């Protein structure tokens, strides 16, 4: 599973920590990629950051979901 975390300027540490905690809570193997390139964000359809993409599907934009909600999304994606 590939998780892309799109970040532009602020709050990156908190967003990364939340994604890492959700991966651990869900118990799924995942590769986390941090994307800070604005062109790559535009290509992915990200209009506001932070944003989270799981296996090519944008699941959150403008905020990172709560850890429990994100863990649930990861578990669903792993099925």
Give average pLDDT by consecutive 10-residue segment, the chain, 79 residues: 91 90 95 95 93 94 92 92
Q: 8 preceded by cis ω (within 30°)? A: no
For 11, list phi and psi in degrees, rounded to 5. 75, 15
Euclidean distance between CA atoms 10 and 75, whole angstroms = 28
pLDDT recorded at residue 9: 78
pLDDT recorded at residue 60: 93
Q: Give this prediction's pTM.
A: 0.90
pLDDT recorded at residue 13: 87
Q: What's the CATH code of the domain at 40?
A: 3.40.30.10
Euclidean distance between CA atoms 27 and 9, whole angstroms = 29
Give the residue numbers spanning the domain of 8.
2-78
- Tally of domains within the chain: 1
């Amino acid at each position: 599973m590939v998780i892309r975390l799109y970040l532009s300027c602020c709050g990156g540490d908190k967003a990364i920590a939340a994604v890492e905690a959700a991966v651990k809570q869900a118990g799924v193997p995942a590769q986390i990629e941090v994307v800070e390139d604005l062109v790559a964000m535009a290509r992915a359809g990200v209009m506001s950051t932070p944003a989270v993409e799981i296996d090519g599907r944008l699941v959150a934009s403008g905020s990172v979901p709560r850890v429990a909600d994100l863990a649930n999304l990861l578990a669903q994606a792993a099925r």
